[in-house]
């Protein structure tokens, strides 16, 4: 029986998170970090609350957060391993992906309680 590796799944999460971060994060930062606080856009908060309260929107936001967290964890791990040549592979992997798992659990908790 051949040994199965988890690395293809990790690379899949990495690439999905990179695409999600590149496509959705800039517009979210522009809207909620600049346009709304500076008054360039005046959204109807009741409508915005209705959209964010919908279960499908929450599911999409959770999915985006999870893949972006795994993208950053994978990038951080390989930056420390390949870029800085640190040879503590197991502790770095545990801290990186453990942080992504904890962040994903926190995001799930927040999405479920809003």
Sign of CA dihedral 19, 23, 28, 29: positive
Q: From CA 113, how far away is CA 53, in angstroms rounded?
A: 10
CATH of the domain at 37: 1.20.1300.10
Per the domain annotation, does 85 fall within a domain? yes
Nearest partner of 114 among 63, 36, 32, 54, judged by Cα: 54
Structural domain range at position 88: 7-113
> What's the total number of domains in the chain?
1
Residue 48 lies in a domain: yes
pTM value? 0.75
* 93, part of any domain: yes
Q: Per-residue pLDDT for the chain (114 aa), expressed as one digit of tens each?
A: 677 787 787 778 788 888 988 898 899 899 889 999 999 988 888 988 888 888 898 998 898 888 888 888 888 888 888 778 878 888 888 888 899 999 999 999 988 887
**60 lies in some domain:** yes
- Within 8 A by CB and 6+ apart from 42, the residues are 36
Q: Is residue 15 in some structural domain? A: yes
């Amino acid at each position: 029986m051949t040994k199965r590796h988890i690395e293809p799944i990790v690379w899949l999460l990495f690439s999905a998170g990179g695409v999600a971060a590149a496509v959705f994060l800039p517009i979210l930062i522009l809207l909620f970090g600049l346009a709304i606080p500076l008054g360039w856009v005046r959204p109807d908060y009741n409508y915005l609350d209705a959209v964010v309260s919908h279960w499908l929107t929450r599911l999409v936001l959770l999915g985006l957060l999870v893949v972006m967290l795994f993208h950053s964890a994978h990038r951080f791990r390989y930056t420390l391993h390949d870029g800085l040549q640190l040879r503590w592979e197991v502790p770095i992997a545990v801290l990186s992906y453990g942080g992504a798992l904890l962040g994903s659990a926190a995001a799930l908790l927040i999405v479920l309680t809003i």
